[in-house]
Each structure stands twice: as structure tokens, then as C-alpha cells.
Amino acid sequence: MDKKYEIPKVSKACVLTGPNQFEIRDDVEVKLPGKQEVLCKIRAVAICGSDPEIIRGDLAGTWPPAYPFVAGHEWAGEVVAVGEDVHDFQVGDRVAGEAHKGCGYCDNCKKGRYTLCLNYGDTTTGHEHYGFIVNGAYGQYQKYSIKSIAHMPDNVTFAEAAMCDTTGVALHGLELSGVTAGGTVAVVGPGPIGLCAMHLAKVMGAAKVIMIGRGTRLAVAQKLGADACVDFTKEDPVQAVRALTNGLGVDEAFECSGAKGTFNECVRMVRKGGRVALLGVATNDVVEELPFKYITHNEIAIFGSRANPNVSQKVLNLMAIGQLKVKDLITHQFTLDHFADALDTFVNRKGNAVKVVILPNGEE
């Protein structure tokens, strides 16, 4: 283990102590990295839409499995110590993380589908889900498997790299369905994932992107490059999309909100032979009625999409060359001591918040 960096025994973190209860502690143990692990100094961590659920305790017993717990999974930082059998990372490396580490040997992991690990939740197999099952990044230091980090390009900031997870979720969904070069795409939900999907669809060759949403976030989508915007509070989104495509429908529709009714709308707004990818995470009570015969007769393909496997380096490279611009999505930044304010800003969209980033170790 490199001795150039003095590792503190304890550090500061936001610790969940129970449902909807958390406190900023400065006595959280800094655990040294084990085999094929690195210890990282967390420089930026973005609040994800799933974090408020975890913090409220909506999924307590599963996410998190027990208290006390440190959440947070959209992060970037620097390596400050390396464990045994680490060859491609060294102290001082700037890295971006992702939440999932599969067991590595189940059938899905061997196929590269480690976000669908068949040993999910069983840490004795080597599976880890950072910020959900095991401690995450809402603190100054955390250790990670080398399988869950990627090297950052030099010209990407820590705050931008903390968007690696969000942009990766969008890219994975777009890769599953594909994007028709020169075609038209609809994106439902102008939140962080939807806005990233909008950018990436253009990068991947779409000629036209239609954004469906409402309010300030729809205005943000228009400002950031949507070719057409549909306000679902003012017009029927399916009819509007059909009108914008001369009645044909779009080649691909990306559901990025998880709201009730949008899955059905996506199915009805794609053209014959079109594709629908579900990137938004719905709550358990959202159950859709779908036009069964319509889907069959029109050969509409539907793709479920989970998290961001095998895409981190891709989105970081796209950030580095300027094709994926995430800086405009980061509307607010807070120190760890002001986590409560940051959470309130994100949840209640104060100041037209889109993406809120925490800086556990101060400014870059």
C-alpha cells in the first residue's frame, strides 16, 4: 500500500440512522482497501432520484439492509490507497464510480450483465451494490472494487464525472434499443436521465429529438437542444408526436419518468417496427395496461433497462471530447455539512434544480 498519502482513521460522512433520519458525523471509520479494492477520496457525489427513497426508509430492510448506513452512489474522486492485486490503478488516479459490482461468476455476470447479477444482495458471493446494499459515497472516503471504477480523462471535472452514472443509465438504455441514424426519437420525462438521453440520442445519430414533459424542466430541455417540445398538460402527447412525424410515429421512444401512463403512450407514439426503452424507474404500484394486439401486429420491441453496465468509460470519453455536455445539468453544489439543504433543493426542485452535487472534501 502506497504510503505517500496519509490515511485518516476516521472521517466525515452523512450517516442514515433510521427512516428519514440522518446526521453528519466526523467519526466514521475509514476502512482500508482489500484485495482488488482501492480507497477513494470522494470529491463529488450527485444526488440520485433513488436516494430520497432510501433516505426516507421507503425500502428499509432491503435498501438499506440495516442502520447505520451511508448512501450515495453517483460519485467521482481520487485514489488514495490501493489494496492487494491492483495493477491498473495507483494513488493519485482520478476515477469515476458506479454502483454495481456483480459476483463475477454467475451466468449473467459472465455475459457482462452484472447489474442483473443472479447473486444480487448476497455479499458473501462478492456482490456489492454501493449506496444501496453496502455503504456508499456520501462521505469523505470510501473503498471500492476496481471493477466499479473508471479512469477519468484529465479535462473532465469531478462534478462532471459524478454524472457518469446518470449519463450511463441513459446510454445503456439507448444501446439496448439502438438509435436510428437520421431518425426521430421521443424522450418522455425531461429530468436528468431524460436530458442525458436527449443529448446521447443526437450523439448516436438521431436527426430529431422530441421531448415530452412540462414546466421548467421542459423549458430546460428546449434551451439545451430539444428539436421539439410537447407539454403533456396542454395537448395529448401521442397525437402531438404523431403530428410532428407526419403521422408515422418516432423510431424510438425512451421513457425516462416512471410515471403512470407513459409506457402506454410510448408504445402508441412509435412507428410500425419501432422500439421502446424503459429507463425511468416506476414505483411498485405503477401497473400499465398495454395494447397487446397493437404491439404484436406492429412488431413493437420493448426493452427494460437497468443501471449503467459497461458504459462508464464511454460516457467519460464523450464528456472529454465535448459531445456530451453535462455542466449545464449541474445546477447546485453544496458541502457535506449542508446535505439537508442539498436534499431539500433536489427533492423540491428549488431554484429549478436539475442535478445537485455534494462536495464531501470541498471544492476541486
Q: What is the pLDDT of residues 317-352, one digit of tens each?
A: 999 999 999 999 999 999 999 999 999 999 999 999
pLDDT of 21: 98
CATH 3.40.50.720 for the 167-304 domain, yes or no: yes
Count of beta carbons in the 10 Å neighbourhood of residue 9:
8
Count of beta carbons in the 10 Å neighbourhood of residue 292:
8
What CATH code is assigned to 10-163+326-359? Answer: 3.90.180.10
- In this predicted structure, the answer to whether residue 3 has a pLDDT above a threshold of 90 is no
pLDDT of 65: 98
Taking the domains of the chain in order of start, what are their residue ranges?
10-163+326-359, 167-304
228: nearest Cα among 252, 244, 251: 244
pLDDT of 288: 95
Residue 354 sits at φ, ψ, to 5 deg, of -110, -65
- In this predicted structure, the answer to whether residue 159 has a pLDDT above a threshold of 60 is yes
pLDDT of 5: 85
Mean pLDDT to the nearest integer, 290-298: 98
Instruction: Output the pTM of the full model.
Output: 0.97
Q: What percent of the chain is predicted at pLDDT more than 90?
A: 98
Mean pLDDT to the nearest integer, 196-202: 98
- In this predicted structure, the answer to whether residue 219 has a pLDDT above a threshold of 90 is yes
pLDDT of 124: 98
- In this predicted structure, the answer to whether residue 305 has a pLDDT above a threshold of 60 is yes
Query: 1 pLDDT band (50/70/90 cuts)?
Result: very low
- In this predicted structure, the answer to whether residue 354 has a pLDDT above a threshold of 50 is yes
pLDDT of 227: 98
- In this predicted structure, the answer to whether residue 4 has a pLDDT above a threshold of 80 is no
- In this predicted structure, the answer to whether residue 110 has a pLDDT above a threshold of 60 is yes
Asked if 21 and 55 touch (Cβ cutoff 8 Å), the reply is no
- In this predicted structure, the answer to whether residue 2 has a pLDDT above a threshold of 60 is no
Q: What is the pLDDT of residues 142-155, one digit of tens each?
A: 999 999 999 999 99
Asked if 138 and 70 touch (Cβ cutoff 8 Å), the reply is yes
Residue 221 sits at φ, ψ, to 5 deg, of -60, -40
Q: What is the mean pLDDT of the chain?
A: 97
- In this predicted structure, the answer to whether residue 186 has a pLDDT above a threshold of 70 is yes
Report how far apart the first and last C-alpha atoms of the chain are (Å, whole number). 25
